[in-house]
Structure 1
Amino acid sequence: MPVPYTGTVLLVDDDPMIRKATEKWLQMAGLTVICADSAEQALPHLNDAFPGILLTDVKMPGMSGLELMQAAHERIPDLPVILVTGHGDIDMAIQAMRDGAYDFIEKPFVPERLVETLIRACDKRALMLENSRLQTDLAARSGIDGKIIGFSPAITRLKRELLAAAEMDTNVIIYGETGSGKELVAQCLHEFSPRKTKRFVPINCGAIPEHLIESELFGHEAGAFTGAAKRRIGKFEHADGGTLFLDEIESTPAHLQIKILRALQEGQIERLGANQTIPVNIRVIAASKADLRDDENFRQDLFYRLNVSQLYIPPLRERTEDVPLLFMHYVNQAATERDKESRQLSVQDEKVLRSHQWPGNVRELKNIAIRFALDSRASLADLVSGQPAISYADEVEHRPLPLAIQVAAFEAEVLKRALHRHQGNIKAVMDELDLPRRTLNQKMTRYGLNRSDFTG
């Protein structure tokens, strides 16, 4: 009994008995079947909205199956077409595959084999449609959708709340895990606000040494402390009229929290070593990984001054439906920047993307997307799991590894160089390395080497 499966097949056969028996078997396998007794009857189904594949007999009255395939590919260029041929039509079927057929089935066919072929074709068609949808969605982005990628309920709610907060021109606290995109959200708050023509000034409070952060925020006069050779304008003053983004504000020292609070209350700052105050008109956006109300080291009066509005960025694990679209955005971006052809996702790749928990959120996803885009031989499953690509130059020479890994890395490098030297000519590689065909194939499979990557 075939394994239940979901997919759509347009079945074309002029023999009613064969058509009915085939339809029954495919339905038992879980496939949705649309029947037609001629090519002419099938053609109206073949439009941009058709989600399935085409299974057609070759010899039929009127338009033949080959002519139907040609007409189908004019309407849907990548449509998988499976031809059903007679015993004496093998040469014709092989030529049809060269002309674009996905596969052919010889009569009388084994139903199980037919179902397996159709399921593979349905998987390919589903992948084509999904990649097309992703590319269409990416191309159609504009406004806030062009800045924050995704259409899940969680991210749609964030966009709506972000636009509302941007127009209010008030202080905001952004909550989100590491790598979730807090600075991007802060930039959007600025770009969609009345202050968009002024500066957006970011500063990571947790990345600056405690003895320097006060000067970074408020500036200093020449001679204010050892090493202060000349006057310096601080971030508050530099952001005047615009937006100041204080990332990881929870790491700000207690004495500095008081100065930030005073600057926000009075709308003025004082440089270190100066006696006069300087008026500033800024909007402050703060970001934190944890709720500041639960942080006993964070001043509650400063919290309430900042917490006029707050936004929560959902982690990727709470919006898995956005992951393929976001991943392809970064893949396309990396490929375009380096003038490379963009890689497409396989069915298995999409499963990997959706099942991974993404502890590093968007930062982790972007890193893997770039590596996926730049190395056509890299497996997405290996990249996500953290498996290092075997590279003799990178891995062996720069850090000690177990002997077995070093030997494997060296062997992979030898094979790659031989394949490159002979431009993928397997016979020449076998002769040079004195390897049987089966052994060479096994080693190429082990190291992810494809002959096509070295031809030409």
Structure 2
Amino acid sequence: MRGTVMLIDDEAMIRQSTEQWLKMAGFEVLSFDNAEAGLAALDEQFPGIIVSDVKMPGMDGLTLMGEAQLRIPELPVILITGHGDVDMAIKAMREGAYDFIEKPFVPERLVETIHRACEKRRLMLENLRLQQNLRSQTGLDAKIIGTSPAIQRLKRELLKCAELDTNVIIYGETGTGKELVAQCLHEFSARSGNNFVPLNCGAIPEALIESELFGHEAGAFTSADKQRVGKFEYANGGTLFLDEIEIMPVNLQVKLLRALQEGVIERLGSNKPIPVDLRVVAASKVDLKTDEAFRQDLYYRLNVTQLQIPPLREREEDIVLLFEHYARHAASQHERELRRATAQDIQNLEQYNWPGNVRELRNVAIRYALDGALPVADILYPQEPMLAAEAEESTLPLAAQVANFESKVIGASLSRHQGNIKAVLEELDLPRRTLNQKMAKYGLNRADFLTGEE
């Protein structure tokens, strides 16, 4: 079914013929001869739209629309009348009508309008359902989104780890969400009432990182014009998150180890020990145990427990779920209508390798949600700026330019699908024989696009 339509018209012949036409077009139709009866059958769970005549005995179409939208906000209502004029149409649209169609109408136009209204209603219901699902999620499921075995395992390990109140090392590639996992460790621990303090060791100049960690007194160095509390002291009672800890200078690793062992720090320019009680969560892209630049005594002090975040390519079941979550959030935040990913969009999402992991996926979803027409493929595989050779190519005869373009399109599709001819045929919508002829014409060999495993 293409959707559900509540059809209201007091003229039996028009109502019956319209009902028959809509059913033939694939719609489920609920038919009423007056507005009061239609309104009585309307409840908050109604999945469809309303198509109503304006001029009817008793309650008219405009009043019906107002009453219906009080029960179901933004419910699409299409109004039809043989007595319409410009003022009435403007009034109807201002009051929330989805569209206004005059009799006699072209059935095809009515069907197309109804189809668009039903699609809008479906998206509204889907968005409402997803919002309700998100609101009903509690605990860790509302923080870390995913249903794949790898992410479910991570959630179980994270909750166990949160209870232990020990130092933790989180491993994961760039963009997998190491800081989010660290925040969850803090929020689900006994320290959640105190500060969560993040520090990216790779984002601070080496000369300043000691001051960032331990603070300083006024006059400790040239630009220290006043006392400053460091991250260690600010995180007292809570959690200190050290991202990219593998980049921390060796001399500072020694001071960090001493602070963890003794539970005290000293601000730069001071000899006064300051006791601290905190949990340190460190994150790294590399194995600290085998990293020659990282002190092993500090590694063992931190590595009481560890968590491994899977890359996005190892949790394929979550890709579309995460994409829809971020796209929905972006659309809501910027007051845009939610775009529905096409089958081709979903296929491109699932086949992409995601070197930037969840961070890259989030950026793709946001751009997709805010651009009204850009397909996923154009976001994942942006066209490069025209090179000098391509600029020269633009002076070639039209036939040569078309041939060059066609060769590049087929080659790019073969590359995307790693030589999978069936996928290329579906993407380019070509007959097998035509694709074979064009590949032979342009010297494109399927074997050149196969992966090593194949």
Q: Same fold (TM over 0.5)?
A: yes
Corresponding position: 1:310 with 2:310: no
Judged with a 3 Å threshold, the aligned counterparts in structure 2 of structure 1 residues 214 and 163 are, in CA distance, closer, same or farther, namely same
Judged with a 3 Å threshold, the aligned counterparts in structure 2 of structure 1 residues 123 and 223 are, in CA distance, closer, same or farther, namely closer
Aligned-partner Cα distance in 2 for 1:171–1:269: 16
Aligned-partner Cα distance in 2 for 1:261–1:306: 12
Q: Which residue is equivalent to 2:335?
A: 344
Judged with a 3 Å threshold, the aligned counterparts in structure 2 of structure 1 residues 61 and 254 are, in CA distance, closer, same or farther, namely same
Aligned ranges for residues 292-441 of structure 1 at < 5 Å?
303=299, 305-306=302-303, 308-310=305-307, 312=309, 318-323=318-323, 325-326=325-326, 343-348=334-339, 359=356, 361-362=358-359, 379=371
Corresponding position: 1:153 with 2:147: yes
Counterpart of 1:192 (choices 185, 188, 206) is 188
Q: Which residue is equivalent to 1:167?
A: 163
Q: Which residue is equivalent to 1:110?
A: 106
Q: Which residue is equivalent to 2:50?
A: 54
Aligned-partner Cα distance in 2 for 1:188–1:91: 58
Q: Is the 8 A contact 2:324 2:365 kept in 1?
A: no
> How high is the TM-score relative to the length of structure 1?
0.58
Corresponding position: 1:80 with 2:76: yes
**Partner AA of 2:188 in structure 1:** F
Aligned-partner Cα distance in 1 for 2:16–2:290: 68
Q: Which residue is equivalent to 2:246?
A: 250
**Partner AA of 1:153 in structure 2:** T
Consecutive unaligned residues of structure 2, counting only runs of 5 or more, are 380-454
Q: Is the 8 A contact 1:138 1:325 kept in 2?
A: no
Aligned-partner Cα distance in 1 for 2:139–2:49: 36
Q: Which residue is equivalent to 1:417?
A: none
Aligned-partner Cα distance in 1 for 2:185–2:217: 32
Secondary structure at 1:112 match in 2: helix
Q: Percent identity between the aligned chains?
A: 55
Corresponding position: 1:120 with 2:116: yes
Judged with a 3 Å threshold, the aligned counterparts in structure 2 of structure 1 residues 308 and 51 are, in CA distance, closer, same or farther, namely same
Shift of 1:73: 2.8
Quote the RMSD (CA, aligned, Å). 5.5
Judged with a 3 Å threshold, the aligned counterparts in structure 2 of structure 1 residues 55 and 293 are, in CA distance, closer, same or farther, namely farther
Comparing 208-217 and 274-283, the one that deviates more: 274-283
Secondary structure at 1:206 match in 2: coil
Q: Is the 8 A contact 1:7 1:32 kept in 2?
A: yes
Comparing 310-319 and 237-246, the one that deviates more: 310-319
Shift of 1:202: 2.9
Aligned-partner Cα distance in 1 for 2:373–2:283: 33
Aligned-partner Cα distance in 1 for 2:123–2:42: 18
Judged with a 3 Å threshold, the aligned counterparts in structure 2 of structure 1 residues 89 and 168 are, in CA distance, closer, same or farther, namely same
Secondary structure at 2:70 match in 1: helix
Shift of 1:49: 1.6
Q: Is the 8 A contact 1:218 1:236 kept in 2?
A: yes
Q: Which residue is equivalent to 2:65?
A: 69
Note the alpha carbon deviations across 1:163-210, whole angstroms, 9 max, x for none.
443222122233445455533442342243222344434322223444
Aligned ranges for residues 23-42 of structure 1 at < 5 Å?
23=19, 25-42=21-38
Judged with a 3 Å threshold, the aligned counterparts in structure 2 of structure 1 residues 145 and 60 are, in CA distance, closer, same or farther, namely same
Corresponding position: 1:8 with 2:9: no
Aligned-partner Cα distance in 1 for 2:93–2:215: 72
Judged with a 3 Å threshold, the aligned counterparts in structure 2 of structure 1 residues 255 and 97 are, in CA distance, closer, same or farther, namely closer
Note the alpha carbon deviations across 1:7-35, whole angstroms, 9 max, x for none.
33223346677556544543454444334
Q: Is the 8 A contact 1:14 1:37 kept in 2?
A: yes
Aligned-partner Cα distance in 2 for 1:92–1:213: 69
Aligned-partner Cα distance in 1 for 2:128–2:25: 27
Shift of 1:53: 0.8
Judged with a 3 Å threshold, the aligned counterparts in structure 2 of structure 1 residues 83 and 228 are, in CA distance, closer, same or farther, namely closer
Secondary structure at 1:120 match in 2: helix
Q: Is the 8 A contact 1:93 1:104 kept in 2?
A: no
Aligned-partner Cα distance in 1 for 2:216–2:62: 80
Shift of 1:246: 1.2
**Partner AA of 2:191 in structure 1:** R
Aligned-partner Cα distance in 2 for 1:310–1:76: 46
Judged with a 3 Å threshold, the aligned counterparts in structure 2 of structure 1 residues 72 and 256 are, in CA distance, closer, same or farther, namely same
Corresponding position: 1:288 with 2:284: yes
Note the alpha carbon deviations across 1:93-124, whole angstroms, 9 max, x for none.
63544544322334443332122111221233
Aligned-partner Cα distance in 2 for 1:299–1:322: 37
Q: Is the 8 A contact 1:199 1:243 kept in 2?
A: yes
Shift of 1:72: 1.8
Q: Which residue is equivalent to 1:183?
A: 179
Judged with a 3 Å threshold, the aligned counterparts in structure 2 of structure 1 residues 90 and 196 are, in CA distance, closer, same or farther, namely closer
**Partner AA of 2:170 in structure 1:** I
Consecutive unaligned residues of structure 1, counting only runs of 5 or more, are 333-341, 387-456
Aligned-partner Cα distance in 1 for 2:278–2:183: 14
Judged with a 3 Å threshold, the aligned counterparts in structure 2 of structure 1 residues 348 and 296 are, in CA distance, closer, same or farther, namely same
